Structure 1
Amino acid sequence: MKAVVGSTVVAEAPTEDLVKIEGNWYFPPSSLADGAFEKSPTAYHCPWKGDAQYWNVGSGDDVARDGGWSYPDPIPTAFDRVGSDFSGYVAFDRSQVSIEE
């Protein structure tokens, strides 16, 4: 699967390497394009996953503000609920980032 902003592929990995949580595909850190992610100051806390890190995603004129989010240090009980460790995996705002198979 691919995550695309404008014409830039910002993440790409086989579907079996992704984790699906609450309808969102989370891409592993190793699948993220170098230079396409900038930390955002936007804060969010999920009661069962923990503190999120938001990302501005893309390059040049094609940047999705807060277009991605991850959980760098999820609450450990979330791993049982999800079925795997999703630390650092990034999901994308589908209104700004295209997810393609």
Structure 2
Amino acid sequence: MGTRQYYVYILASRIGGTLYIGVTNDLIRRVSEHRPKIAESFTKRHDVTRLVYFEVFEEIEQAIHREKRLKKWPRAWKISLIEKDNPNWIDLYPEIAGPGG
């Protein structure tokens, strides 16, 4: 049995826009659920569909702890975290989802 992976991710509405932080065990599936904006939710109300940052963890407890910490961070720190690896706030979803994603 392979090692399970867990993800902490940040979605954004646009560069410098509204941010959403979540945790999942299936990043591609979870982001694909946010994108169509079908369900009434925070991500639909604020048009938050662009995957701009994610981290990978081997233990769910680590991922949940990181998610909670990130949610408490000042907005400026979150923006710095995103821009360290993704300065143009490029949507990472097409890259991880592959063709047809």
TM-score norm. by structure 2 comes to 0.25
TM-score under structure 1 length normalisation:
0.25
Higher strand share: 1
- Higher fraction of helix: 2
